[in-house]
Amino acid sequence: MIYQLYPRSFYDTNQDGIGDIPGIIEKLDYLKGLGIGAIWLNPVYASPNDDMGYDISDYEQIMKEFGTMDDFKKMLEEAHKREIRIIMDLVVNHSSDEHQWFIESRKSKDNPYRDYYIWREGKQKKEPNNWASFFTPSAWKFDESTGEYYLHLFSEKQPDLNWENEKVREEIFRMINNWLDLGVDGFRMDVINLVAKYPGLLDGTGDKTPSGYVFSPEYFANQPMTFTYLSELYKRCFIGRDCMCVGETPFTDTETAKKFLKKEDPMLDMIFQFELMDIDSGKSGKWEIVPYTMKDFKEVVARWQEATKDSWNSLFWSNHDQPRPLSRFVTWSTQEERVLAGKMLAVAMHLQRGTSFLYQGEEIGMINATFDSVDQLMDIESIQYYQERKKVGREEEAWNAIARKGRDHARTPMQWNAEKNAGFTKGTPWLLVNESYPLINVEQAMKDPDSLYYFYKQLIQCKTTSDTLLYGDFTLLHAMDDNIFGYARRLNKDEIQILCNFTASPVPLVYDVPEESKVILSNYKEHFKDILQPFETIVVQSKAPM
Ligand code: ISL
Ligand code: CA
């Protein structure tokens, strides 16, 4: 179980309203208590925070708001003392425009760093091609000083690095090796499948975005050279080391995943796929929110389990880019139901085959926040989207989408207790504290033996001590049921059935388990053989049929 920790919102020790590394150190025992084996830290490098640390201005320095390199080393040491591994975020598709390389690069066309980034001349006084960016209308920005454009798939302050340039790759490999030598245990590699761009940078042919550009992953995701670069990176940095790497790979289907995960030519240990996170996204992207069914959900889960059966899968309900799962995948109305549903979701995901990622706050059942106006938002994606839609009078529609899927929902401060600012800071928090904190907080969860926190602890214990749950194969059960998600994990003669009612109503279900089976985990004390109670989850172990 890997705990994804968002440092900015975890715990503030110097009361500047921003979480920090000393705050992480202070809470390591809390995390140890939960039973996790590793922490993935969102970026902690020097950054002007245009995209909350995903715009790095120095890969070898710690963000000053978070602390010093000595604080970092101490955290590493303290984590390792507790047998907790530290996985860093690695953001090398782009840097900040305030990185020394880019400051040099933009100075002149013959600067030695010019080729560290992707510069092109305009076409008839317009951008070099029609590509849309994730965050702004065009993926190109005109730079006065040399009269050329640079490519930025994300914000204007995140110029894409030119991986074709061997010097860039060498700098990156050196930097990765430095961190590994320092003792970090691995990396979560940000949009790592976007590093190679199609050589001709051709115009995209898909649908136009409202501002007239074309989102063109066919030319910037999973290009042939991506695999070459990642294989090279693996050989130069990871081989022979006790570390792990998980790649964040949008636009990746199961066939492409197999290429990243093949054992003969290692590139990545796991990937983060997007099909589940995009299950409610329409053709035009995440802001077009569309309905989906239980069958759609099962189809995605089962297909990814199948595709990774010879490699390894990653399991997660959320991360710092996604809304809170309790506000997204289930509909509940009372606090009691929230806790039941939280437990059910935990089982539904984490007893599948793969490594689990638990996003900060999920262990206490945090939910989406209420934002009253765009001024309260901090996330560049939501803010830019809102402003673009406002230009064409569609801000209300944009606001409704942000209320459901804005990235700030996941980023509000961790709720430690019922005191002011949820005990996160005595200063002014950098992002508003979710108003639910008097009810939903760590202190409360620790006092209640039936809390989600203790359930997670039990679940982690269950999974990490069972070979069947770790290594057993996966079979979908009740495939046609519209309300129940069920699966079996089998290893040799051992079978564990996992049944989950995703609804707030009782659902009839006859479960077919042998007499001598036993319930090893559930969110109810009492069970009925022909019904699953509201949000009930039950994990039943038996000997598999011969
Ligand atoms: O966040 C998304 C949807 O809300 C994605 O489209 C996201 O931009 C994409 O998955 C890439 O995410 C990663 O790289 C971005 C950064 O903003 C995200 O926080 C990070 O997870 C650029 O570095
Ligand atoms: Ca601080």
Interatomic CA distance for residues 546 and 539, integer angstroms: 20
* Ligand 1 center–CA 115 separation, angstroms: 25
Nearest Cα residue to atom 10 of ligand 1 = 250
Query: Quick check: is 68 in a domain?
Result: yes
Measured between its terminal Cα atoms, the distance across the chain in Å is 32
Residue bearing the CA closest to ligand 1, atom 5: 321
Cβ atoms 344, 539 nearer than 8 A: no
CA of 69 from ligand 2 middle (Å) equals: 15
Ligand showing the shortest atom-to-Cα distance for residue 90 = 1
Q: For this structure, is 115 an active site residue?
A: no
**DSSP helix/strand/coil, 357:** strand
Residues 522, 496 within the same domain: yes
How far apart CA 385 and CA 402 sit, in angstroms, is: 9
The Cα-based distances of 516 to 95, 97, 292, 307, 543 in angstroms read 58, 64, 37, 33, 8
Q: How many domains does the chain have?
A: 2
On whether both 431 and 491 belong to a single domain, the answer is no
Domain membership of residue 115 (yes or no) is no
- Return the pLDDT at 409: 98
Pocket lining: 54 vs ligand 1, CB cutoff 6 Å: yes
Instruction: Using alpha carbons, select from 98, 226, 95 the residue that is nearest to residue 153.
Output: 95
How many angstroms separate the alpha carbon of residue 71 from the centre of ligand 2?
12
In a domain, 406, yes or no: yes
Q: How far is CA 387 from the centre of its chain?
A: 25
DSSP state of 236: I
What is the mean pLDDT, run by run of 10 residues, along the chain of 546 residues? 98 98 98 98 98 98 98 98 98 99 98 98 96 96 97 98 98 98 98 97 94 96 98 97 97 98 96 98 95 98 98 98 98 98 98 98 98 98 97 97 98 98 98 98 98 98 97 97 97 96 95 84 94 97 67
Which DSSP letter does residue 399 get? H
Tens-digit pLDDT profile for residues 118-145: 999 999 999 999 999 999 999 999 999 9
Domain termination residue (choose one: 428, 457, 486) = 457
Enter the pTM of the model: 0.97
Q: Are the C-beta atoms of 161 and 221 separated by less than 8 Å?
A: no
Q: What's the 72 CA to ligand 2 centre distance in angstroms?
A: 14
Residue 166 structure tokens = 């061997």
User: Which of 457, 491, 507 corresponds to the end of one domain?
Assistant: 457
Is 112 domain-assigned? no
Strands, sheet with 473-477, edge to edge from the N-terminal-most edge strand: 473-477, 484-491, 494-501, 537-543, 518-522
pLDDT at residue 129 in the model: 98
Q: Is residue 100 part of a domain?
A: no
Q: Tell whether 444 and 515 lie within a shared domain.
A: no
C-alpha distances out from residue 351 to 169, 372, 374, 487, Å: 38, 37, 38, 9
Token couple for 324: 């809170």
Distance from Cα 227 to the centre of ligand 2, integer Å: 39
Burial 96-108 (b: 16+ CB within 10 A, else e): bbbbebbeebbee
Instruction: Write out the two tokens for 143.
Output: 């730079």
My answer on whether 311 and 408 are in the same domain is: yes
CB of residue 381 inside a 6 A radius of ligand 1 = yes
- Whether 321 is in the pocket of ligand 1, judged by its Cβ within 6 Å, is yes
Show the tokens assigned to 468. Answer: 């069947």
| Domain match, 421 and 478 both | no
* Ligand 1 contact via 278 beta carbon (within 6 Å): no
Distance CA 332, CA 504 (A): 6
Q: Is 160 in the pocket of ligand 1 (CB under 6 A)?
A: no
Q: Write phi, then psi, for 257 (nearest 5 degrees).
A: -55, -40
Q: Choose the catalytic residue: 97, 156, 190, 536.
A: 190
Contact assessment for residue 314 and residue 501, using Cβ atoms and an 8 Å cutoff: no
Q: What is the C-alpha to C-alpha distance for residues 370 and 436, in angstroms, rounded to an integer? A: 9
Q: Specify the residue with its C-alpha closest to ligand 1, atom 6.
A: 134
> How confident is the model over 167-224, as pLDDT tens digits?
999 999 999 999 999 999 999 999 999 999 999 999 999 999 988 999 999 999 999 9
Q: What is the pLDDT of residue 514?
A: 77
53 alpha carbon – ligand 1 mean position (Å): 11
CB atoms within 10 A of CB 492: 10
> Is 250 touching ligand 1 by the criterion CB < 6 Å?
yes
Ligand nearest to the CA of 157: 1
Does a structural domain hold residue 206?
A: no
**Active-site option among 51, 71, 97, 248:** 248
For residue 45, the cross-strand partners are 62
* Cα(411) to centroid(ligand 1), Å: 13
Say which ligand is closest to the CA of 20: 2
Q: What is the pLDDT of residue 210?
A: 87
**Are residues 449 and 516 located together in one domain of the fold?**
no
Considering only CA atoms, which of 310, 304, 348, 311 is closest in space to residue 326?
348
List the domain range (segments joined by +) for residue 180. Answer: 2-94+166-201+217-457
Output the CA torsion 161→165→170→171 (10° steps): -40
Q: Give me the CATH number covering residue 539.
A: 2.60.40.1180
Looking at the structure, do residues 453 and 483 belong to the same domain, yes or no?
A: no
* Whether residue 238 sits in one domain with residue 316: yes
- CA-nearest residue for atom 8, ligand 1, is 134
Is the domain of 316 the same as that of 279? yes
Contact 38, 3 (CB under 8 A): yes
Both 425 and 312 in a single domain?
A: yes
Residues 313 and 262 reside in one and the same domain: yes
Question: Is residue 154 lining ligand 1, measured as CB closer than 6 Å?
Answer: yes
Q: Among the bound ligands, name the one nearest to the CA of residue 154.
A: 1
From atom 15 of ligand 1, which residue's Cα is the shortest distance away?
54
Q: Tell me whether residue 450 is one of the annotated catalytic residues.
A: no
Give the per-residue pLDDT at 544: 52
* pLDDT of 546: 44
Would you say the CB of residue 269 lies under 6 angstroms from ligand 1?
no
Of the three residues 424, 457, 490, the one that is the final residue of a domain is 457
- Do residues 355 and 417 both lie within one domain? yes
Q: Pairing between strand 473-477 and 507-508? A: unpaired
Domain harbouring 61, CATH code? 3.20.20.80
Q: In 10 A of CB 503, how many CB atoms?
A: 19
